[in-house]
Structures are given as C-alpha cells and as structure tokens.
Amino acid sequence: MKFAIQVNEGPFTHQASDTAYQFTKAALENGHEIFRVFFYHDGVNNGTYFGVPPIDDRNVQQQWSELAEKHDLDLVVCVAAAQRRGIMDEDESKRHGKGTSNIAPGFRISGLGQLIEAGIQADRLLVFGD
Amino acid sequence: MSTLHTVNKSPFERNSLDSCLSVAAEGATVLLIEDAVGGALQNTAVASTVSDAMGKGVKFAVLGEDLRARGLSAERVIDGISVVDYAGFVQLACDHDNVQNWL
C-alpha cells in the first residue's frame, strides 16, 4: 500500500512527530511504500539541522534524516511555513539575504502542491498533529 | 466504505472523541493514540460512551506503546478493545478504505 504522511507539529510540542515517525517506520518495515512525508505548520520544525537536543533525548530530525537515507524517502517542508519559522535551504537563504541555511539532510523545501499530489497519488493520507 | 478514525486528545479535556463518535459508522474502527489512550480504560467518565459506540458496531483499538508510555496496563482496557502496536496501526490503515485523523 502507498501511504502519504502529513506532519503538523514540531518535535517539542506534543507527540505527533514521534507518532508520525513510528508509523512511517512501521509501514516501511512491513513492506509498504511511503510516497511522501509533508511537513506543514509547526511540523517544519522537524527539518531544522540546528536543533541540538540533550544527548539523552531523542533527536527527531536525525531520525527522519536517517530513515530518509535508508529508504530514499521524500521529506518535503512547506516553503511558506518554513520561511515564517526560519527554516531555509541555500536558495531560500540567498533570496532573503540570510547568509546561512539550516535545512536538515534528506529534507527539501517545496510548496503545497506537493501535499495535494501526495493526497492524490497515495492510497491513504494520514495526518499527525495538534 | 469503512473508515479508520484516529483520536489523539484526552477525552477528559477535549471533545474530539465525541466529535468522532458522532459520525463513526458501523464497521468503522476508532484507534485511540497519544493522550487519547485513557479513553480505552474501564471505569472512567467516558467508558459508557465508548461501550455504547461498540454496541452500535464501531470497533475500538488502542496503541499499546502509548498506554505503556503513560504507565497504563493493558489489563485495565475495556473488554473488546484490541491493543495494537505500530505495525497494527499500519494494518488498520490498510484494512479500512479511508483514514480520518481527528486532531
């Protein structure tokens, strides 16, 4: 089965980032396909490379990046939600004159069309959030 | 057409479980996750609401990991509610035609 995942919450709000990650991991382990994970609203905070949680805390960004590398996942961060929260790739950073980028490995910045496409292409769309 | 509903907010604080049950039809499954797992327990303020829905043909499941994370034993879960893991969550999503996440 082909799943699309939408994440609306950051790693340090409630539990949605963890649930979304665990669901995605379980789906992959059971032979399903993840068409795309789309990070929207505060969910874009999953995609910053500059988060440094204490060593004994889980690092959700790192977990996503590692899962993406292992399974060639498409992790998409909403551009408008990301700009508001200071999450940028090199192009966006240059465009806004910020001088540095912080998008985490395995994540890419794109628009809402990616969510709509995921909803159309996937058999099931699951939304995790607040 | 059957739907998997997920509820992630405590039914003692928010009304998302009630909203969900107002539309959940026979053959649907309601999966309680995150802070909603308390809704699966016996002898609570919402236990009769859950039992009534079960009587109308709505199935219930609860995420075992989230019960354990809150120190809640599966033994306290209402009879007839299945305790599933994340693989079980994925399977429920496959077994229903749609997924509706109540946030």
**What are the mean pLDDT values of chain B's consecutive 10-residue runs (103 residues total)?**
97 98 98 98 98 98 98 97 98 98 97
Q: What is the pLDDT of residue B33?
A: 98
Cβ-defined contact of A19 to B33 (cutoff 8 Å):
yes
**Using an 8 Å Cβ cutoff, are A51 and A59 in contact?**
yes
> Where residue A130 falls among pLDDT bands split at 50, 70, 90?
confident
Distance CA A115, CA A83 (A): 17
**What average pLDDT score do residues A68-85 get?**
98
Model pLDDT for residues A39-76, shown as the tens digit of each residue: 999 999 999 999 999 999 999 999 999 999 999 999 99
Told to judge if A78 belongs to the known catalytic residues of this protein, a careful annotator would answer yes
Q: Identity (one letter) of the amino acid at B54? A: M
Taking the Cβ of residue B87 and every Cβ of chain A, the question of whether any pair is shorter than 8 Å is answered with: yes
Cβ atoms A88, A109 nearer than 8 A = yes
Average pLDDT over residues A69-94: 97
Q: Enter the tokens of residue A26.
A: 């379980």
Q: Are B41 and B47 in contact (CB under 8 A)?
A: yes
Q: Check: CB of residue A43 under 8 Å from CB of residue A129.
A: yes
Q: Are B54 and B20 in contact (CB under 8 A)?
A: no
Residues of chain A contacting residue B103, judged by C-beta atoms under 8 Å apart: 8, 127, 129-130
Is 2.30.40.10 the CATH number for B3-102?
A: no
Structure confidence at residue A30 as a pLDDT band (50, 70, 90) = very high
Which domains are seen in chain A, by residue range? 2-128 (3.40.1260.10)
Cβ contact, residue pair A126, B93, below 8 Å:
yes
How far apart (Å, rounded) are the C-alpha atoms in residues A21 and B11? 24
C-alpha A32: how far from its chain's center?
18
A121, pLDDT greater than 90? yes
ipTM over 0.95: yes
Q: Which of A75, A23, A25, A73 is nearest to A46 (CA)?
A: A75
Give backbone dihedrals phi and psi of A43, rounded to 5 degrees, phi first. -60, -20
pTM here is: 0.97
Q: Does B94 touch chain A (CB under 8 A)?
A: yes
What is residue A25's predicted lDDT score, i.e. its pLDDT?
98
H or E stretch at A110: strand A107-110
Give all strands (DSSP E) within chain B, no chain letters: 3-7, 29-32, 59-63, 82-84, 98-102
Task: Give how far A79 is from chain B: nearest CA, Å.
Answer: 23
Which of B6, B65, B86 has the highest number of chain A CBs within 10 A, making it the mutation to test binding with A? Answer: B86
Mean pLDDT across the stretch A99-116?
98
> What average pLDDT does this structure show over A72-93?
97
- Rounded CA separation A9/B33 (Å): 15
